[in-house]
Amino acid sequence: MATEQTPLLASEVAAEADHNLIYSRFSPRRKHTIIALVAWASFIPFFVSGSFIPAIPEVAEELGTDVSVVSWAVSIMWFVASFTSMIWATYAAFYGRRVVYLYSMPCLALGSFGVSISHSVPELLFWRAFQAAGSSSGVSVGMAIVGDIYKLEERGTAMGIMLGALLIGPAIAPLTGGMVAEYASWRLMQTGVGFAALLTYLLMYVGMPDTSHPGTRGVDKEFGGEFKWVWLNPFKCLWYMRSPNLLALAFVGASALLHDFVLLLPISITFGERYNIHSKTLIGACFIPAGLGNLVGAPLAGHVSDLMIKKWRKKRAGKWVAEDRLRAAMFGAIWLIPLSTASFGIANTYIDGTPGLAVCLVCLFISGIGVVMVLTPTAAYNVDVVHGHSAEVMSAYS
């Protein structure tokens, strides 16, 4: 017998079927391939930055300037990347995800080759900015792609896997950069990054589909899918930060990363001078525990955030509350990050020799877990609540 609820129930069933159909466009194997591609593309900007840091003294000596001047190349890279990521994200929403990679990777390759042949500080800074512009598409667009292909209850785990893979970059880049600078030349490292960017372009061209949901791209709505160039305002991305929740999480993420930089950037002093380590290669190797912590913690945090969604949704009889995902970030934010930082400072100050070095390395590992336990659920939350504009909100967050 029909009731007032029958049409409503039928519409809910139909909506659920449509929802599942959207996320089943790609097979599990194809999704894994897509995640591997975007993780690799997102890995590169962190590798570009991290591999340059150990070579700064050599670059300064070769260009006849101070270390502090060459260090501007690191700051300029992140400054430029912050703004160009919004440009890529804005156009990814309008033209699709794939096309952004096909334009950004050649920019990264050109910038890397330019850095490798720089013979003055202005040249170096210009090409580092160009390099940053090319590399900055990875994270924001990559997170949007995860949101495109994975359902709510699976999204955290997929983001955790992607974050764990890309955050290997800060761990192995200083070691790789230090080895190449010590035994060959910093220019060779930058040339290698350029060829890696060209390889990424080829992989994206061959294996990367456009993952945008059907009919959601701006070019579909305005021009029926026909390509026509339009000028877009990338700074509109920042408008998402008017939400108190999103703004608060941006500060939380920034605080977690600040903690990471405070521990890792002065490592040549806190490890090199404190424990008499003078080899660039060994200094670079000291970054590895933090990267291993990222690798372990990110998938774990993503999986726990998915479990939180399922657990509390079940308790509320099917009602979804987006903030449930953030419960997974609390342990890292309240315990792991503060305790690992304090323990590192105490050990580095008061414990000499090999025991002190060992305790500091353990603290870096725990810190790496804590940081991604904060970043993974907060990134997934951003995509959950502004799913239709996930690339833009992730670029503003980043």
Maximum distance among all Cα pairs of the chain, rounded to whole angstroms:
87
pLDDT 10s digits, 137-159: 988 899 999 999 999 999 999 99
Cα 37 to Cα 30, 119, 133, 348, distances in angstroms: 11, 34, 19, 39
Which amino acid is residue 239, in one-letter code? Answer: W
Residue 355 has pLDDT above 60, yes or no: yes
pLDDT 10s digits, 69-95: 888 887 888 889 889 999 999 999 999
Crossing angle of helices 186-207 and 168-183, in 10° steps, is 140
DSSP class of residue 347 equals H
Q: What angle do CA 258, 259, 262 make, to 5 degrees?
A: 85
User: What pLDDT, on the 0 to 100 scale, is given for residue 18?
Assistant: 56
In the chain, the domains with their CATH numbers are 30-212+236-397 (1.20.1250.20)
Residue 114 has pLDDT above 70, yes or no: yes
* Calpha distance 96→396 (Å, rounded): 18
Map residue 293 onto helix, strand or coil: helix
Q: Which tokens sit at 196? A: 């890696």
In the chain the first and final C-alpha atoms are separated, in Å, by 54
Q: Please state the length of the chain.
A: 398
**How crowded is residue 241: how many other Cβ atoms within 10 Å of its Cβ?**
15
Contact 240, 386 (CB under 8 A): yes
User: What pLDDT, on the 0 to 100 scale, is given for residue 5?
Assistant: 39
Residue 297 has pLDDT above 60, yes or no: yes
Q: Which tokens sit at 243? A: 């939400």
Map residue 115 onto helix, strand or coil: helix
Higher pLDDT, 168 or 224: 224
User: What pLDDT, on the 0 to 100 scale, is given for residue 179?
Assistant: 78
Which amino acid is residue 74, in one-letter code? Answer: V
* Calpha distance 169→302 (Å, rounded): 19
Higher pLDDT, 271 or 171: 271
User: What pLDDT, on the 0 to 100 scale, is given for residue 225?
Assistant: 84
Give the mean pLDDT of the chain.
87
Q: What percent of the chain has pLDDT over 90?
A: 58
Q: What angle do CA 234, 235, 239 make, to 5 degrees?
A: 125
Which amino acid is residue 294, in one-letter code? Answer: N
Backbone CA torsion sign across 127, 128, 131, 133: negative
Extended beta strands in the chain, E state:
none
User: What pLDDT, on the 0 to 100 scale, is given for residue 16?
Assistant: 53
pLDDT 10s digits, 179-216: 777 777 888 888 988 999 999 999 999 999 999 998 88
pLDDT 10s digits, 214-251: 888 999 999 988 889 999 999 999 999 999 999 999 99
* Calpha distance 270→360 (Å, rounded): 9
Q: Which tokens sit at 77? A: 């890279």
User: What pLDDT, on the 0 to 100 scale, is given for residue 3?
Assistant: 39
Contact 286, 276 (CB under 8 A): no
* Calpha distance 349→367 (Å, rounded): 18
User: Residue 17 — very low, low, confident or very high, per pLDDT cuts 50/70/90?
Assistant: low
Output the DSSP codes for 122-144.
HHHHHHHHHHHHHHTTHHHHHHH
Q: In three state form, how does the secondary structure of 26-69 look?
A: CCHHHHHHHHHHHHHHHHHHHHHHHHHHHHHHHHHHHHCCCHHH
pLDDT 10s digits, 259-295: 887 888 778 778 878 888 877 778 778 888 988 898 8
pLDDT 10s digits, 23-74: 989 999 999 999 999 998 888 777 877 777 777 778 888 888 887 888 888 7
Q: Which tokens sit at 347? A: 């050990």
Which residue in 160, 141, 181 sits closest to 306, CA to CA?
160
